[in-house]
Structure 1
Amino acid sequence: MTQVANRDRERPKVTRAARFRSRWPDRIGYVAAAALFLYGLANVYWALGGDGFPFGAEDANPEYSAFEDTPANTLAPVLAALLLPASAVALLMALPGRRRVPRNVLLGCTWCFVAVTLAAFADFRLLGNLAYAVMLQIGAINWTVVNQFFLVVSAGLMAATALAYQRRLRNACGNCGRTDGGPDWTSPAEAARWGRKAVRIAVIIPFVYASTRWAWALGIPLGISDKLWEEGKEDHLWYWGAGLATLGALGALLTLGLVQRWGEIFPRWMLGLRGKRVPPLLAIIPASLVSLLITIAGVMYIRLEIQGKFDNQSEDWGTTVPEMFWPLWGAALATATLAYHLRRRGRCKRCGRL
Structure 2
Amino acid sequence: MTTIWRWWAYWPVWSGYAAAAFSLLYGVLGLYWWAGRDGFPFAPIDEDHASASILEGSRVEVVAPVIAAVGLLGAVVALVMTRHARPGRLSTGLVVFGWAMAGALVLIIPDYTLIALVAFAPLLLVFAFTGVPGDQAGVGDILYWHRTNLIIIFVGGLLWAAATLAYRRRVRAACVHCGRRHGADDGPSRQTLLWWGRWGVVVACLAPLPYEVTRVAWALGLPLGITSDFLRMMQDTPGMLAAGLGCAVASAAGGVLTHGLVRRWGEVYPRWIWFRAGKRVPPALAVVPASIVSVTIIPAGLMFLWTPETRGTWALYVPSLFWIAWGVGLGVATVAYHLRRRGACRRCGLGHVGDDRPDVLRRAQPSGDRERDSSGVGARDGSQGNLH
Query: Normalised by the size of structure 1, how large is the TM-score?
Result: 0.85
**Counterparts of 1:241 and 1:146, CA distance in 2:** 23
The within-5 A match list for 1:248-259 is: 248-259=251-262
Does 2:308 match 1:321?
no
C-alpha change, 1:270 and 1:338, in structure 2 (3 Å) is: same
Residue identity in the other structure for 1:331: V
| Structure 2: gaps spanning 5 or more residues | 128-138, 352-388
Report the equivalent of 1:276.
Answer: 279
Residue 50 of structure 1 deviates from its aligned partner by 2.9
Residue 149 of structure 1 deviates from its aligned partner by 1.3
- The more displaced of 75-84 and 133-142 is 133-142
**Counterparts of 1:196 and 1:181, CA distance in 2:** 30
Query: Contact 1:64 / 1:123 at 8 angstroms: preserved in 2?
Result: yes
Report the equivalent of 1:10.
Answer: none
Report the equivalent of 1:94.
Answer: 82
Residue 241 of structure 1 deviates from its aligned partner by 0.7
Which one of the candidate residues 4, 7, 11 is aligned to 1:24? 11
Residue identity in the other structure for 1:286: P
**Counterparts of 2:104 and 2:4, CA distance in 1:** 35
**Counterparts of 1:217 and 1:259, CA distance in 2:** 32
Query: Contact 1:56 / 1:66 at 8 angstroms: preserved in 2?
Result: no
Query: Normalised by the size of structure 2, how large is the TM-score?
Result: 0.78
**Counterparts of 1:301 and 1:347, CA distance in 2:** 42
The within-5 A match list for 1:146-225 is: 146-182=148-184, 185-225=187-227
Residue 255 of structure 1 deviates from its aligned partner by 0.8
The within-5 A match list for 1:66-77 is: 66-77=54-65
Does 2:334 match 1:347?
no
Residue 142 of structure 1 deviates from its aligned partner by 1.4
Give the root-mean-square deviation of aligned CA atoms.
2.5
**Counterparts of 1:159 and 1:63, CA distance in 2:** 24
Residue 99 of structure 1 deviates from its aligned partner by 8.1
Report the equivalent of 2:68.
Answer: 80
Q: Does 1 or 2 have the higher relative contact order (CA < 8 Å, sep 6+)?
A: 1
Does 2:57 match 1:62?
no
Residue 185 of structure 1 deviates from its aligned partner by 4.8
Residue identity in the other structure for 1:109: F
Report the equivalent of 1:5.
Answer: none
Does 2:17 match 1:43?
no
**Counterparts of 1:302 and 1:350, CA distance in 2:** 43
**Counterparts of 1:319 and 1:343, CA distance in 2:** 37
Query: Contact 2:216 / 2:245 at 8 angstroms: preserved in 1?
Result: yes
C-alpha change, 1:48 and 1:271, in structure 2 (3 Å) is: farther
SS at match of 1:275: coil
Count of aligned pairs between the two proteins? 334
Residue 220 of structure 1 deviates from its aligned partner by 1.6
Query: Contact 2:43 / 2:56 at 8 angstroms: preserved in 1?
Result: yes
Report the equivalent of 2:133.
Answer: none
Residue 322 of structure 1 deviates from its aligned partner by 0.6
Does 2:104 match 1:116?
yes
Residue 182 of structure 1 deviates from its aligned partner by 3.6
Residue 91 of structure 1 deviates from its aligned partner by 1.5
The within-5 A match list for 1:5-24 is: 21-24=8-11
| Structure 1: gaps spanning 5 or more residues | 1-14
**Counterparts of 2:300 and 2:6, CA distance in 1:** 36
Report the equivalent of 2:267.
Answer: 264
Deviations 1:179-201 (A, max 9, x none): 23545654433212211111111
C-alpha change, 1:325 and 1:273, in structure 2 (3 Å) is: same
Residue identity in the other structure for 1:129: L
Query: Contact 1:202 / 1:329 at 8 angstroms: preserved in 2?
Result: yes
Report the equivalent of 1:11.
Answer: none
Deviations 1:258-317 (A, max 9, x none): 11122122333435433332221121111111101100100101222xxx3345x1xx20
Residue identity in the other structure for 2:280: R
Residue identity in the other structure for 2:93: V
Give % identity: 40
**Counterparts of 2:260 and 2:151, CA distance in 1:** 28
Query: Contact 2:219 / 2:241 at 8 angstroms: preserved in 1?
Result: yes
Which one of the candidate residues 9, 34, 50 is aligned to 2:21? 34
**Counterparts of 1:26 and 1:235, CA distance in 2:** 50
Residue identity in the other structure for 1:124: Y
Does 2:324 match 1:336?
no
Query: Contact 1:19 / 1:349 at 8 angstroms: preserved in 2?
Result: no
Deviations 1:63-122 (A, max 9, x none): 623234324343222222222211211111111443886222212222222233245421
Query: Contact 1:173 / 1:179 at 8 angstroms: preserved in 2?
Result: yes
